């Protein structure tokens, strides 16, 4: 019988050693913010191979989307060796079974390993995992971590997050959290620190980015990919400019009991449902809350909404809500009307129309920084795809971020006709339209 010593014919590179040693000692949470070509997936695969024979259990390697997992991991070839990466980490001698369609391997000791997408985390079946790698974490659905973390905690499992930055989104948040946790491992490795590139090569790469994307964006993207900067905007981000300018309007925005809270929905069945909560005032929109869920029926959402104790106004649904069914023989609109909501439907519009309306509305919006955090993260990550020739897709990607963005677009279309200054003007407004504190107003709180 062939004897295999794990990791299989592999040793961590010098700059990978501290992360490897942490994981070898049984570390449960690692955040590896490493530059391009630093071997993020490589170290994760080899560590998983070792872990699978230290403890029998299920191990997952998750990409942002299941469709890209096959190309990025299952079929990926190491250009230095010409071998598949999974064959290097998991040689045939340690396998009992391999399923190409499911991208699944069962090892001879009973452990299993599978490549998955975080886009359908809630639909995964089988034994709960004891180890998860979140690859390209900055582009992944952050709800996957929230859903799976309690499972890992119950199983005393581990999680590894590997990525390059994509702005200050959820990857930045989880990195900062790990950095402040003495039991976690958090590391940023730039191209200057790994030694993978000569200074001359880095200079050339920066020049190529500037040539392809212009000076400002090119330098920002180079710093993101090779210097692990969180400051660069996400490439192709739909609302990058508007959200950057909105930073001073992301703060504590209290609920005003004297004004109704209007709801703006994007509906999903197996997919995600997203709801924005907004109060309308002269010259501004106060976005006070956000709610999303997966696989729930309308009755569950109605219960959650009523538990918030807001006084609700209009409940805006997409144009197809009259024929959209969620686990019921009645339409969504009918179910919400029966639950006491004042239902209206948004006219049918194109994605481009909704995006343009949202761009015009964003400068008037104030967001509650805590209650809207998940929705704002999605808006930040709503983006056009970019191909190898640097061409943008005609429409934004349909991924975990698109549901919150669609609901926000429906909100913009629903409110487009009536200007904020025309709304609810019972008295002279006591609001801060010049970003100055006003005594007694919500912005002075």
Task: Delineate the domains of the chain, giving CATH numbers in brackets.
Answer: 14-194 (3.40.50.300), 199-232 (no CATH), 244-424 (3.30.420.240)
For 235-383, strand residue ranges (E) read: 250-251, 261-266, 272-281, 284-294, 312-317, 342-345, 365-368
Residue 95 DSSP SS3: strand
pTM of the model: 0.83
For position 124, what pLDDT does the model report?
A: 72
Closest residue by Cα to residue 406 from 304, 269, 265: 265
For position 422, what pLDDT does the model report?
A: 46
Closest residue by Cα to residue 179 from 29, 39, 15, 41: 29
* C-alpha–C-alpha distance, residues 318 and 341, integer Å: 15
* C-alpha–C-alpha distance, residues 139 and 234, integer Å: 10
For position 296, what pLDDT does the model report?
A: 87
| Distance in Å from the first CA to the final CA of the chain | 73
Given CA atoms 298, 377, 367, 360 in this order, what sign does their dihedral have?
negative
For position 414, what pLDDT does the model report?
A: 97
For position 426, what pLDDT does the model report?
A: 38
Closest residue by Cα to residue 251 from 367, 168, 365, 372: 367
CB-based burial label for 430 (10 Å; 0-12, 13-18, 19+): middle
* pLDDT beneath 70, residues of the chain: 1, 123, 125-126, 269-271, 324-328, 388, 417-445
Q: Are 23 and 48 in contact (CB under 8 A)?
A: no
């Amino acid at each position: 019988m062939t004897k295999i010593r794990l990791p299989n014919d592999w040793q961590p590179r010098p700059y990978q050693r501290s992360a490897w040693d942490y994981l070898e000692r049984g570390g449960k949470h690692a955040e590896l913010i490493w530059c391009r070509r630093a071997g993020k997936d490589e170290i994760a695969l080899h560590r998983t191979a070792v872990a699978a024979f230290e403890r029998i259990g299920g191990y997952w390697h998750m990409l942002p989307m299941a469709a890209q997992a096959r190309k990025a991991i299952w079929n990926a070839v190491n250009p230095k060796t010409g071998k598949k990466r999974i064959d290097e980490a998991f040689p045939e001698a340690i396998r009992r079974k391999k399923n190409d369609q499911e991208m699944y391997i069962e090892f001879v000791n009973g452990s299993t390993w599978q490549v998955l997408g975080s886009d359908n985390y809630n639909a995964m079946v089988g034994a709960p995992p004891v180890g998860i790698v979140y690859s390209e974490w900055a582009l992944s659905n952050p709800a996957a971590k929230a859903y799976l973390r309690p499972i890992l905690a119950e199983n005393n499992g581990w999680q590894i997050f590997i990525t390059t930055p994509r702005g200050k989104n959820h990857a930045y948040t989880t990195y900062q959290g790990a950095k402040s946790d003495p039991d976690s491992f958090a590391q940023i490795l730039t191209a200057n620190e790994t030694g993978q590139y000569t200074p001359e090569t880095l200079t050339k790469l920066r020049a190529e980015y500037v040539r392809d994307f212009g000076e400002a964006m090119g330098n920002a993207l180079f710093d993101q990919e090779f210097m692990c900067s969180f400051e660069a905007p996400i490439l192709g981000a739909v609302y990058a400019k508007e959200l950057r300018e909105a930073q001073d309007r992301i703060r504590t925005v209290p609920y005003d009991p004297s004004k109704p809270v209007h709801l703006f929905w994007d509906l999903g069945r197996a997919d995600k449902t997203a709801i924005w909560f907004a109060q309308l005032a002269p010259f501004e929109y106060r976005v006070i809350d956000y709610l999303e869920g997966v696989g729930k029926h309308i009755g569950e959402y109605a219960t959650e909404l009523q538990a918030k104790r807001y006084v609700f106004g209009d409940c805006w649904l997409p144009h197809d809500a009259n024929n959209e069914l969620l686990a019921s023989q009645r339409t969504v609109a009918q179910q919400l009307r029966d639950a006491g909501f004042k239902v209206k439907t948004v006219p049918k519009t194109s994605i481009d129309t909704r995006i343009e309306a949202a761009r015009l509305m964003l400068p008037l919006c104030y967001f509650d920084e805590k209650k809207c955090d998940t929705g704002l993260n999605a808006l930040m990550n709503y983006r056009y795809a970019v191909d190898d020739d640097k061409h943008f897709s005609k429409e934004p990607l349909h991924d975990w971020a698109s549901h919150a963005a669609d609901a926000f677009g429906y909100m913009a279309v629903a409110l487009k006709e009536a200007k904020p200054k025309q709304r609810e003007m019972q008295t002279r407004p006591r609001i801060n339209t010049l970003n100055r504190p006003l005594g007694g107003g919500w912005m002075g709180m």
